[in-house]
Amino acid sequence: MPFFAPWMLLGLIAAAVPLLLHLLRKRTADRVEWGAWMFLADTLKKNRRRLVINDWVLLTLRTLALAFAVLAFARPFLPEMSLFGGRGADRDVVIVMDVSASMRLPGVNGKTAFEQAREEAMELVKLAPRGTSLGLVLGDSTPVIVTASPLSSRRELLEALEKTECGHGTMDASRTLLAAGEVLAAGGNPTKEVVIFGDGQAYGWHLQDDAEWRRVEQVFSRFARRPPIVWRTLEKPAKVRNAAIAELVPSRRFIGTDLPVRFTATVVNSGTETYSPGSAVVQLDGEEIARVPLGQIMSGLSRTFQFSCAFPKSGRHELVTSLTEPDDIASDSLVTNVIDVIDSVDVLLVNGRPAATGYERPTAFLEAALRPELKGTNATFLVKPRTVRASELEKPSVFGKAAVTVLCDVPRLTPKALLNLKDYV
């Protein structure tokens, strides 16, 4: 059985300590006969065998306790559970190559982390035991599935690895694992495994997106035997200066031309030293609209800033956020977001009691709340409510471009209206 830390087996020498102590403390007592000895001799003979057995059992337990502790620190593993140096049943293995921008940084021996990862991946392919089918996925902001299913041909996979190039974005870890699971599912071997080559740079992994990671959990739990994930973390440079624009969050989901939108941006110092990324510059369709000084940011920490932006017309707009101070990874210092700006949000209000008037109508308060009348102003509103009777739902065209439909005090619907409502949803 192989061990992850075989040098720890030297600790088995310590297992002999209880035996040595037993031998050192063992001594022959001087025999002195006395008057009452004849009455105790028979009792001592009966108990001697039991005491000897107890001593040897206790000595064995102490020795085994030390031996098992040493074996635990040596970390034994079964070869068939890991591709590295293992033999066993036929298996499907997906190699994931981290091709994010941080992999361009120089590593050991003057090579970049990506070059080292590619060399190790190619060596892994060459040493893979017979019966192993191999697939390839590139981990980027948008993962790339190089092989739709695991291949038995080593030559094809080596050629694919040779052509692989490092990207300029960040690796979306959850979507990359989903892609790896898709390739594994296309394989025909019972045993599955994922091997990831990367530098461990966690920026861009969206760890806070619980829904996305639940999808990863669901995909991997569908296999009869859960595929293990082996991560080969490459050595990173001792000093890295890098700040990245992590996210840009608008103050509301629907963005229109009615009101300015406040954006909150986060800048993360993903390097190893404290420094200032200068200022954050925001441009809308090529024109600068904000410039915010950021100051010093400690390694591993982040800083947020806000700015407001008014969109004069609907359609797609390009919002570019960049940092003025250069660093070791330039690609994550500039982020481009495409913002879809809409004219209006149509809301369909269905009146279940059309005979009612004034504020007795079920839709009256919603109409006033969604589109209030502000006298003496030229205020515009993003939400445009439209009121119809429940009987009008029998016409499919009544829904139009409504983003939301609200049934207000509607006791029942006809089968045709229900069918139209189902198609709308």
Rounded Cα distance between 251 and 385, Å, is 22
Residue 192's pLDDT band, with cuts at 50, 70 and 90, is very high
Residue 80's pLDDT band, with cuts at 50, 70 and 90, is very low
Residue 345's pLDDT band, with cuts at 50, 70 and 90, is confident
Residue 236 CA to its chain's centroid (Å): 20
Is 268 or 87 the better-scoring residue by pLDDT?
Answer: 268
Q: What is the pLDDT of residue 2?
A: 65
Which range, of 14-23, 207-216, 287-296, 393-402, averages the lowest pLDDT? 14-23
Asked whether residue 341 carries a pLDDT value surpassing 90, the answer given is: yes
- What whole-number percentage of the chain has pLDDT above 70? 85
Q: Is the dihedral of CA 75, 78, 81, 87 positive or negative?
A: positive
Q: What is the pLDDT of residue 130?
A: 85
Residue 246's pLDDT band, with cuts at 50, 70 and 90, is confident
Q: What is the pLDDT of residue 76?
A: 72
Would you state the torsion angle of the CA atoms of residues 153, 157, 158, 160, taken in this order, to the nearest 10 degrees? 140
Which range, of 3-7, 25-29, 110-114, averages the lowest pLDDT? 25-29
Most confident of 12-16, 40-44, 206-210, 254-258: 254-258
CA distance readout (Å), 393 to 10, 398, 419: 81, 6, 9
User: Stretch 218-236: mean pLDDT, rounded?
Assistant: 88
Q: What is the pLDDT of residue 83?
A: 46
pTM more than 0.85: no
Residue 141's pLDDT band, with cuts at 50, 70 and 90, is confident
Asked whether residue 48 carries a pLDDT value surpassing 50, the answer given is: yes
Matching CATH topology for 80-233 and 243-341?
A: no
Q: What is the pLDDT of residue 82?
A: 46
Render pLDDT for 51-70 as a digit per residue (tens, 0 to 9): 667 777 887 887 888 788 87
Q: What is the pLDDT of residue 211?
A: 86
Residue 121's contacts (CB-CB under 8 Å, 6 or more residues apart) are 95, 97, 161, 195, 197
CB atoms within 10 A of CB 402: 18
- End-to-end alpha carbon distance in the chain: 59
Is 295 or 4 the better-scoring residue by pLDDT?
Answer: 295
User: Stretch 147-175: mean pLDDT, rounded?
Assistant: 90
Residue 84's pLDDT band, with cuts at 50, 70 and 90, is very low
Which range, of 20-24, 43-47, 262-266, averages the lowest pLDDT? 43-47
Render pLDDT for 282-318 as a digit per residue (tens, 0 to 9): 999 999 999 999 999 998 899 999 999 999 899 999 9
Residue 120's pLDDT band, with cuts at 50, 70 and 90, is very high
Strands in 310-403 per DSSP E = 315-323, 334-341, 345-351, 383-389
Rounded Cα distance between 170 and 165, Å, is 14
Residue 195's contacts (CB-CB under 8 Å, 6 or more residues apart) are 83, 93, 94, 95, 96, 121, 124, 229, 230, 232
- The fold of the 243-341 domain, in CATH, is Immunoglobulin-like (2.60.40)
Q: Residue ranges of the domains in the chain?
A: 6-24+40-74, 80-233, 243-341, 345-424
Superfamily of domain 80-233: von Willebrand factor, type A domain (3.40.50.410)
Residue 138's pLDDT band, with cuts at 50, 70 and 90, is very high
Return the structure tokens found at 355: 């005979």
Backbone angles phi, psi at 320, to 5 degrees: -110, 125
CA angle, corner 328, sides to 327 and 331, nearest 5? 85
Return the structure tokens found at 265: 């941006």
- If you average pLDDT over every residue of the chain, what do you get? 84
Q: What is the pLDDT of residue 4?
A: 60
Rounded Cα distance between 400 and 424, Å, is 9
Say which residue the tokens 């991997």 belong to. Answer: 220
CB atoms within 10 A of CB 219: 18
Which range, of 31-45, 220-234, 286-300, averages the lowest pLDDT? 31-45
CA angle, corner 386, sides to 371 and 356, nearest 5? 95
